Amino acid sequence: MNFRPSKISSNSIFITLFVTIACFLVSTAVVQYRLRTVETVALKIETIAAPSLDYLTMMLASVKDVRANTATYIEDLSRGNRSKNPEDKLIELRQRCDNYLEYDLLPGEDAFWHTLRKECNSIQSSVKAMLNNATLDNRNLANRDFQESVLPIAVKLNETIQATILHDVNVVRSFASEVRDIRTQSFEMILFLNILVAGLALLTGAIVFIIMRRHQALMITYNQLANDRLQELDQFAGRVAHDIKGPLATMAMGVDLFQNSSSKSDIALAIKSVNRGLAHARQLIDDLLVFARAGGTPAADSRANVAKVMQEINSQCKPAASERGIELSIEDCPVNLEVACTEGVLASLVENLVFNAIKYMGSSEERRVRVRIQANEETATLIVEDTGPGISSELQPKLFMPFARGEKTGEDGCGLGLATVKRLVEAHRGKISFRSTQGLGALFTVEIPRVLKGPIYA
């Protein structure tokens, strides 16, 4: 009997461990991916959004300064005074605008970027035109440039800068929202994976526990079987020793008679006694060898033609049956029927069952042994039925055990025949059973796997 862990249980452990490791790897990969995404968003905020907002805010202040200084310059000019030239603030505005335009664009900032650059250029041109007219003492034209060109462009540039700041603030808010969503999703996914891993760990533990319990039960069964086999071996050895004493005693008596006798008749009797003991001992040893080999693994390509074997059995068993006044009938066998064993094994099975039926017919009035063969798509069934005295209820539970014999019948034998048959049948993946009522005969049924070859019946 093979005590191996269940293949399903082993696969279950492998699968759960594989999935557990996969979950750890997936959770690590997810965390790394999410962290990289957060890092990318944070980098955009740090290197693009924050500096852009800083320069836009400074641009607002510069526009305000340009507007205020230009208004003061025009007012002083109208009074005939010369005030500080507003061109310094204009240069400052231009520098801040250029600094802002050097940064990468945030999503949706294209239109604002082009408008800011255009309006910064416009206010610079308008202020320079106004200052050029003021230098030529064309005060009225310079004032008109301020009112109709510089001031509207400054207002418009101020509005554009404010709109750009508002847009960038919204983009930063979307970045923050994205980070928050990533954090929430990452937390939920990691929580799910942790729960899954914990569940798989519990499942693995449960499977290991079940396997350990099963292994423990198998070990208990194995130990019980080992103890049973040991007891069987003890009984076997005792029975062999007991049975071999008989022929040895017979031979000892013959030798003693040979040594102490001088007449030819006594010597002949002694030799006959020794030969009878030797034959009995040889038969016992042969039976033991057949029994020991019966449990061996058969060849995978073994096959036997049933019809051929039945013909041989009929010719071998017919004389013994006729000598005892027994009618032996072996029904016609299906043509081309082959079974998965050697012809020698099949012959041994049938001979044991038929000779047992003949040997133990006893004094039954109706003396008949009938052998039938039946077949289906998978198995061939051998049926041996006799009209003998049947098998006693005490013997039936141990009928297939080695050295199991019934009441004294005066027949030779050591009780290994049916045990050998059972071992042969089971070694070839077959089944054997019997049915018997004491006084009404016995019926033995042997099923052996078929070897398919053509139709069953011709």
Q: Are residues 165 and 41 in the same domain?
A: yes
Mean pLDDT throughout 433-445? Answer: 90
Pick the last residue of a domain from 162, 180, 206: 206
Is residue 392, in this structure, part of any structural domain at all? yes
Q: In the prediction, which pLDDT does 457 show?
A: 42
Query: Which of 127-141, 150-164, 228-242 is predicted with the least confidence, judged by mean pLDDT?
Result: 228-242
How many domains are contained in the chain?
2
Pick the last residue of a domain from 206, 226, 246: 206
Query: Which of 34-38, 124-128, 418-422 is predicted with the least confidence, judged by mean pLDDT?
Result: 34-38
More confident residue, 289 or 142: 142
Q: Are residues 429 and 314 in the same domain?
A: yes
Q: How does residue 5 score in pLDDT terms, banded at 50, 70 and 90?
A: very low
pLDDT digits (tens, 9 = 90+) for 226-264: 777 666 666 555 555 655 655 666 566 666 666 676 676
Residue with tokens 């019966």: 294
Residue 408 has pLDDT above 80, yes or no: no
Is residue 232, in this structure, part of any structural domain at all? no
Q: Are residues 304 and 160 in the same domain?
A: no
In this structure, what CATH number is given to the domain that contains residue 375?
3.30.565.10
Q: Are residues 24 and 138 in the same domain?
A: yes
pLDDT digits (tens, 9 = 90+) for 361-380: 888 888 999 999 998 889 99
Q: Are residues 190 and 64 in the same domain?
A: yes
Is residue 396, in this structure, part of any structural domain at all? yes
Domain residues for the domain of 22 are: 7-206
Residue 156 has pLDDT above 50, yes or no: yes
Residue 127 has pLDDT above 80, yes or no: yes
Residue 412 has pLDDT above 90, yes or no: no
* Mean of per-residue pLDDT scores for the chain: 79
**Backbone φ and ψ of 375, nearest 5°:** -145, 145
Q: Are residues 319 and 423 in the same domain?
A: yes
Residue 445 has pLDDT above 90, yes or no: yes
**Backbone φ and ψ of 371, nearest 5°:** -120, 125
pLDDT digits (tens, 9 = 90+) for 190-199: 788 778 878 8
Q: Are residues 182 and 71 in the same domain?
A: yes
Q: Are residues 31 and 164 in the same domain?
A: yes
Pick the last residue of a domain from 206, 230, 250: 206
